Homo-oligomer: A and B are copies of this chain.
């Protein structure tokens, strides 16, 4: 189902490449990051709310989702991870894991030893700075979603969230065009933007009727991107400023 990852394939480091081109030496220094890979079945728990372990992972293949479960059983999905995304970073700041991470598909992850991380901070300042920028990007994605969930109706939230997801997938694979294939159910979409499944369904129906977007079992096709953008009410973010202040490559 999942082939062992090709360690010479640097797509695992795609997030880092958004801000600078990594040198051969840097790539070599970062290779230990993907040394300890592991395959997990769909539905596997990678991290669980409240547990004390704070391992971090790099997702190499497949999809995972990070969520919080509230006392009344309601769930908020905080992020879905795509290949190249890091898993478990926010847990490093606190004693107990704040979120639960599950595999939405069969996945391949690389477990990252924290001492390796510390060593890279020491020996690879540019890696450290890029990791810092990636963290700011994550923060920005949350800011956008907070603005959507706090201040827009269901249509706006859904439009904005799907655009955000599409932009991320497009960066991974520029060939997907206006299509968006993902392992998410309508219930997952609902939990991402804080509404009910029923309302998601009605909003998707409405989008189809208005020729804006179609959704068929995890396959979305964007028919009118401008309309979606307009409904969302948030500008497109252009990631990857040319950061001249970054430390020099070693």
Contact = CB atoms under 8 A, between A and B. Distances in A.
B238 A96 contact: yes
A24 to B, nearest CB: 20
Contacts of A248: 122
Interface string A184-198: 000000000110000
A146 B233 contact: no
Contacts of A145: 146
Interface in A49-84: 50, 54, 68, 70-72, 74-76, 78
Interface residues of A, number: 67
B142 A143 contact: yes
A36 to B, nearest CB: 16
Interface in A130-159: 131-140, 142-147, 149-152
A67 to B, nearest CB: 9
Nearest to A133: B93
Interface stretch (A112-120, A175-183, A199-207): A112-120
A76 B144 CA distance: 10
Contacts of A85: none
B125 A94 contact: no
Given A71-B233, A149-B194, A98 B241 contact: no
Interface in A218-245: 233-235, 237-241, 243, 245
Interface of A: 19, 50, 54, 68, 70-72, 74-76, 78, 89-96, 98-99, 114-115, 117-119, 121-122, 125-126, 128-129, 131-140, 142-147, 149-152, 193-194, 233-235, 237-241, 243, 245-248
